[in-house]
Structure 1
């Protein structure tokens, strides 16, 4: 794990700072919705796992799964990753550090945009004795080489990203053949509530939209677990044989 920087790209020769275990790859921060701005608050980050995340889940899902059931669902859909696992939109690393503590589990990386969340994630991982590589980067761009990841997990974060098409292309690019994408989101509310959700930076989609986006990116074996309004999704990058 990198603790201090800078981190240099051998191809473009760009230099990025690394401090306290977080590589910061964000050169220009694009505009963020109101909810995203709130998630960049240190107070929110420190209370995220205990108070903020449960409150958001209750507001969006009405009857969310308990933490253990939610984790077991993600874990079963991830299967046995054949390579590093990216927790995209990791927040404070609640799921990432639990994955990292599993025996013989591959390397776990956590990517998020909020510096406060990542700082809290590093502290929580140290306290838990979990090895997680944290990096700050702005999705849908994923700063990984083609075909290097065994899985990409988006636990409760898919609805924060607006450009679904580009996201899925990036996911397909970085996954190894047979690698899995696992994500959770919530079904779109009615038109009036949907407008308010978009105003604060949330982008829920219907299952048909998500299925079409994964297919357009070349991912296969789309599956979903529906616990309305919760949607948990899985898709795979085709094996080397099927890609020939």
Structure 2
């Protein structure tokens, strides 16, 4: 990976990141244990869907970039759709989602597909969710157009992303430790679709009904905890012997920094847009 390559936009690197569920699981675990404020994202998505649905039971919900199935599970439990389809490019993520949800029958299914070409007929979807995945597209507006194609009249799309400067304090920490001096100046992993540009990407495609930004706070207990997260991030250009090695990263951090709690923030942005038409 060169210094100018955004790993979230490099197909080869991205495929490696999601070849199995271990990296995402470790990243999520480290963040959840550090989290000090901010609502659970999947619950907020379900709340928004419930508040904006035109009918009490959606006929079809699609969860795009469903990953390990966290939002799919909550959407299934909260919305009780007639059918839910979880869609992801990674076969390994889909296997993990199936195992976690224990889904059987036709009510819920998981399908491997590219979000530029969703395996859903036009005009059939009641709710389409795309959380923390649009920044994997070099042209996210094309993905939003594809999402709009699937929506039934009156159907809603819920798009979720992060601010471009999310976890910036960790960039500074890595630089101060001498592990990656350029980290604070490197392009954000979320550069393609972030809190500041999501509305601009969506407005030409779908009318926006709701937009909100919520700050999430995180305090890592010590440098070992920080290292667990850093080992999962493709942003940093760490020495080869530190790649994916949280214990070695922790030792390297302690050689230069005081072992104390480390705090950082991220803005999570929720956008809800509706396909024109449908009985109000």
Q: Give the CA deviation at 1:186.
A: 0.9
Is 1:237 the equivalent of 2:278? Answer: no
Contact 1:184–1:231 (8 Å) recurs in 2 = yes
1:24 paired residue number: none
Work out which of the residue numbers 196, 199, 202 in structure 2 matches 1:214. 202
Of 32, 36, 45, 1:74 maps to 45
**Deviation above 4 Å: which 4+ runs of structure 1?**
56-59, 127-131, 190-194
Match in the other structure for 2:210: 223
Q: Which has the larger radius of gyration?
A: 2
Q: What is the DSSP-based 3-state SS (H/G/I as helix, E as strand, rest coil) of the residue aligned with 2:271?
A: strand
Separation of aligned partners in 1, 2:198 and 2:140: 8
| 1:44 counterpart (23, 33, 43) | 23
The equivalent residue for 2:4 is: none
How many residue pairs align between the two structures? Answer: 201
Please report the RMSD computed on the Cα atoms of aligned residues, expressed in angstroms: 3.4
1:185 aligns with 2:161: yes
Q: TM-score, normalised by structure 2?
A: 0.61
Higher relative contact order (CA 8 A, sep 6+): 2
Q: How much has 1:131 moved relative to structure 2?
A: 4.7
TM-score by length of 1: 0.69
User: Are 1:53 and 2:28 matched, yes or no?
Assistant: yes
Q: CA deviation at 1:205?
A: 2.5
SS class of match (1:101)? helix
Give the alignment of 1:43-192 within 5 angstroms: 43-44=22-23, 48=25, 51-55=26-30, 65=38, 69-79=40-50, 80=53, 82-102=58-78, 104-126=80-102, 131-189=107-165
Q: Which runs of 5 or more structure 1 residues have no equivalent in the other structure?
A: 1-29
Structure 1 counterpart SS, 2:161: strand
Output the CA distance in 1 between the equivalents of 2:157 and 2:109: 19
CA deviation string 1:6-31 (max 9, x = no partner): xxxxxxxxxxxxxxxxxxxxxxxx96
